[in-house]
Structure formats: structure tokens, C-alpha cells
Structure 1
């Protein structure tokens, strides 16, 4: 027995924001260019303000429950507790920063044929727990995509340390070259005073 529960977004304008052109450009891989600093800052700010329930409240989701497979006794055979969450990418991508669109589309949860993000969970005997697990997996996917696409901020101490190491390396390299130069000139006889 398969039950369908549908969550609809409070605003249909979110779906309209995703233009066909930008979606097709990201699908073709054109979004893989080096991100500019403003996009990176916006993505960091978005991640800092990300609420675990934001996607649940704003995206158009289709949730279905079915019987789990594998061990579990009679409960597995009688109760439809496995949760399957389907979110169309046209509903999900407008909610996310543009930098992570390609990472979401390349994730293992993206079904290319249906253009949906499909997340399943059957860890628990309860439908609500499995549904919450699906949304948690989706949240983890988004956080991992942001961390993969957005470079981390470098602290002032790390920047100073790197600059000091680069200066030390240049000085060491210059001394090594001078030493080699003196060694060669001594072989040629240019370094002896007769």
C-alpha cells in the first residue's frame, strides 16, 4: 500500500524564479567557473542563516510511504514506514545559492531522469522519524555542497604565517643559488686569487 502526502510551498513565486536558461546553464556545467567574492560571501551568509526546517517549509515536496525491505519481522510486512521524499529541482534550486547548484545536481540523491532530488529513509519503525531523517539527509547534502563549493575564510594569523613562510623560502632559495654560483665560479678558476 502506497500513501502519498504532498507538501506545497506557501508561495508559488519561488518556483517561477528558477528560469529555464539558468537551470540549463548549470546542468551544462557553465556554472563551474571561478566564483566571485560577492557570491562566496553571500553563500557563507546564507549557510550561517540556514535553518534545518527552511527547505521543509519553502520547497514543494512529495512524500510517499511504502513497506521497507530487509529484516524487521512482521512490522516490515504490515506497516508502510519507509519514507521517500521527492523535491523537484525547479523548486529546490531557487532556495539555494547559485554556487552549490552543480554540487546538488551531481549528488547521489539527484535523479537525472525525473529532475528530482530523491531521499529515502527506512531506519525507524515510525513514519514521522523516517520523514525527519529524509529532511535531515537533505539538510546534510546542502551543507556538504556549500562546504565543497565555497572556500573557507582564511584567518589573519594564517595569512601572516603563510607570508612569513614564503619570505623564508625565497631567502633560502636565494642563498642556495648564491652558494651554487660561488661553487661554479670556483671551479672555473674565477674564485681564486693568484
Structure 2
């Protein structure tokens, strides 16, 4: 029984290996090759999982490093650390393949007939792709939602982003186009209020210009005031 069980395990391992290696051959393999396949590690790096979406940091709004609050050393360090976490998430999301969003939570996909001129598949097959993304999805940054609700693709009735595509006559390609658009919309909203800290040298230069401008305006005001006093002084007879 142990020999039969071992043989069945080998056959199962071979079939599993053939499945992941993409071979369509049903021809039996040599016993030594079957045994070697049992120890071959199967890479799943190319498999797309919804868990591969980067989790955004729990930040409701992006701090301004150039604000008065950012001038405090303690607060400045905290703001810098917060913005660093945001940029790390953005970098991961930028490198993300748009197709990963297919399995993301809050994504709904549907198809309908395309409008416009006829042709092969057009007006005959449901090739128009529609992707709806709920804004309460956990992978969408909280700080981006204030910008997303102002986006033209936002639908208030469902509190979601609605994207459509009729670029090609292929359902799959139109879905990919929708997901790519959605990814770009979220990226744009996530970076809209992201500001970089102004270097100290530039800050000093700006402060000097502001100070000089205030001094110039003060002198001009004093000059105008002096002219008015001279005009209203009257004449002695």
C-alpha cells in the first residue's frame, strides 16, 4: 500500500507541476523526472492576489511642511515622518500593475453594448466596459477622498468612482483600460495636496524679499502721506 501511495503522490506532483509550468502534454514522464519535480519550488510571484495591494497609512489629511506648525522642530520631524510614509505608499502604488485592481475589494465590473458606428462586434457584443470603485474601499487613502469626490468620475448616489471604456472591441482590453484610468485617478487625488518642504536657503531668501517689499511699501506710504500734508497746509497772506 505504501508503494502505491507513493506512486500516487508522484503522479499528483507531476500533474501539479505540469499545471504551473504551462505544459499541455499528457505523456507520462520518467520516474526519475517525476521524483525530481516533487522538490521543485513553484513560484507564485506572477500570481495576482488582492492582498498585493499596498495598505495606505491611516492619515486623513496631508500636513503642510511649510506651515507655521512645520516651523516647530518637534512638529517638523513628525510631519516629515508622516509624509515619508505617504511617499512610500505612493511609490508602491505607482509600480502596481493596474490589472491587480481586478480582484480588489470594492471593484465592480460590467459590460454593455457600445454606441456609435457599427462594425465587427460593435452594437452586437457587450464590449463596453464599466468599472465602479467604492470610495470606502480599504486600499484607497483617506486623505485622497476629499479630492476624489470632486473628480468628474465621482458618482454621489453610490459614493463611488465610475469609469468606462470603449477603446477597443475586446472586453478584456477595455477592462484593462478602465483599471488603468482608475489607478491614475487615485494617484492624482493622492498627490494633489502633497507638498515638499521648502529648503532653508530658499526660505531665508523669500523672507528677505518679503521684508524688503514691506519696507518699500512703508516708505511709499510715508511719502504719499507727506505729499498730502503739504497740499493741505494752506497759504499765509
TM normalised by structure 2 equals: 0.54
Name the SS for the 2:121 alignment partner: helix
| 98-107 or 152-161: bigger deviation | 152-161
The within-5 A match list for 1:152-167 is 152-156=195-199, 158-167=202-211
Name the SS for the 1:49 alignment partner: helix
Alignment check: 8 A CA contact 1:87 1:117 kept: yes
Query: What residue is the counterpart of 1:124 in the other structure?
Result: 168
- Is 1:75 equivalent to 2:121 in the alignment? yes
Deviations 1:114-140 (A, max 9, x none): 333321101112222211110111112
The within-5 A match list for 1:10-49 is 10=51, 35-37=62-64, 38=79, 41=83, 42-49=85-92
Q: CA deviation at 1:109?
A: 2.3
Matched residue pairs, number?
A: 161
The answer to which structure has the higher strand fraction is: 1
Name the SS for the 1:63 alignment partner: strand
Query: What residue is the counterpart of 1:27 in the other structure?
Result: none
Alignment check: 8 A CA contact 1:43 1:99 kept: no
Alignment check: 8 A CA contact 2:165 2:175 kept: yes
TM normalised by structure 1 equals: 0.64
Q: Distance in 2 between matches of 1:187 and 1:116?
A: 67
Relative contact order higher in (CA < 8 Å, ≥ 6 apart) = 1
Q: Distance in 2 between matches of 1:36 and 1:62?
A: 33
Query: What residue is the counterpart of 1:172 in the other structure?
Result: 216
| 39-48 or 167-176: bigger deviation | 39-48
| Structure 1 spans left out of the alignment, 5+ residues | 1-6, 19-30, 190-194
Q: Distance in 2 between matches of 1:122 and 1:83?
A: 7
Alignment check: 8 A CA contact 1:65 1:81 kept: yes
Deviations 1:53-109 (A, max 9, x none): 376154342222222111142320333221111223332xx2122221122233232
Query: What residue is the counterpart of 2:24 in the other structure?
Result: none
Q: Distance in 1 between matches of 2:202 and 2:127?
A: 50
Alignment check: 8 A CA contact 1:8 1:61 kept: no
Aligned CA distance change for structure 1 residues 168 and 79 (closer, same or farther; 3 Å): same
The answer to which structure has the higher helix fraction is: 1
Deviations 1:29-69 (A, max 9, x none): xx7xx754549724444323323437615434222222211
- Is 1:142 equivalent to 2:142 in the alignment? no
